[in-house]
Each structure stands twice: as structure tokens, then as C-alpha cells.
Amino acid sequence: MSRLTVQTLESAPEASQPYLAAAKAKNGFIPNLLGVLANAPTAIEMYVKVSEINSRSSFTLEERETVQITAATNHGCAFCVAGHTAVCYKQGKLDPTLVNAMRDQTPLPNPKLEALAEFTRAVIRTKGAVSQDELQAFLAAGYAEQQVLEVILGVALATLCNFANTLAGTELNPELAAYRWDGKKA
């Protein structure tokens, strides 16, 4: 059971209700993460706006999901791993070998995506104080300074969700049960 209230369309603060209604229209259900964030209208607004901004980054969906699942596994957020696994399969139609490697925190079959995952882990581990070697390895993999900052953008978005879910003990929606993750923090 969640430690924080999982708001519904009917119970949420008025300022949060449009975000919940939009999520229900898009997904067919309201992810419990959003129900938790709806307790604070500014938190759910931040999630929605930063998600939209992140979707406009130069990263492909595959790259954005690499950042999100890498952050979620490193933060130990089972809800976000499940949610982003659903995105990988339903929206991205990504290869299960790649998705399983992300979830299992094992080397990714694509070297460029592996460099992205390694850099994301370094950003999280060092709180942004990555070494020159870590930065150069990321750039040498074919990324640019723009993507350095977009990794931080993705980690910022993930941190909001991962920490909110961990603090709240957010239960997985039945719609996401097929994507459950019981792994441990890296």
C-alpha cells in the first residue's frame, strides 16, 4: 500500500485534475505515479512539462529510454522500470534483448547505447562530477555536448519519478504488471 495518497480524478486537487484527465485519455488508465504526484499540483505539472521537454531532446526514443531505465535501475525504482519497459515495447517496439539488458543492468548489445548507459550511471554516481575520461568516452561514442546536458535532463526527470515512487511506495498498476521488475539497485 502506498505511503502517500494515490489521487484519482475525483479526489485530486483541482489544479492536478487536468493532468490526470490527460493521462487517462492517453493511456486508458492513470498511472499510480501520477496519482501520487497529483498531491502537489506543481509536482505533477513539473513531471508533465519536463517529460514533454525531454521528448523534444535530440535523443531517439531508444536513447531516452536507455537513460530512463538506467536511472530507474540505479535508483531502485521498480515502478519506473516497469513503466519504461512498457514504453519500450508499446511505443518503441524495441528489441527484447536490448530491453532485458537495460533492466538487468548488463552490457547493452549496441555499443553507442552502452556508452550512453555508462555515462548516465557516471552522472548519477558522481552527481555530475564525471571524470574527463568518462566525458571523453561518451563523446568518442558519437555524442556531442548537447547530449551531455540532455543526459542530465533525463536524469532530472527520472529523479523526480524515482524518488517520488520510492518515498511513496507506489504500487504498480495492474496495466503494468506484465513489466514488473524485481531487480536491485546497481
Q: How far, CA to CA in Å, does 10 sit from each of 111, 153, 161?
A: 47, 32, 22
Host H or E run for residue 147: helix 145-168
Residue appearing with cell numbers 561514442: 141
The pTM of the full predicted model, rounded to 2 decimals, is 0.94
Q: What's the rounded Cα separation, in Å, for the pair 92 and 87?
A: 6
Domain 60-179 has CATH 3.20.20.70: no
Residue appearing with cell numbers 512539462: 49
Domain 7-56 has CATH 1.20.5.810: yes
pLDDT at 12: 98
Q: What is the mean pLDDT of each run of 10 residues along the chain (186 residues)?
A: 95 98 96 98 98 98 98 97 97 96 96 98 98 98 98 98 97 97 71
Cell numbers placing 80: 519506473
Q: What's the rounded Cα separation, in Å, for the pair 163 and 21?
A: 23
Domain ranges (residues) in the chain: 7-56, 60-179
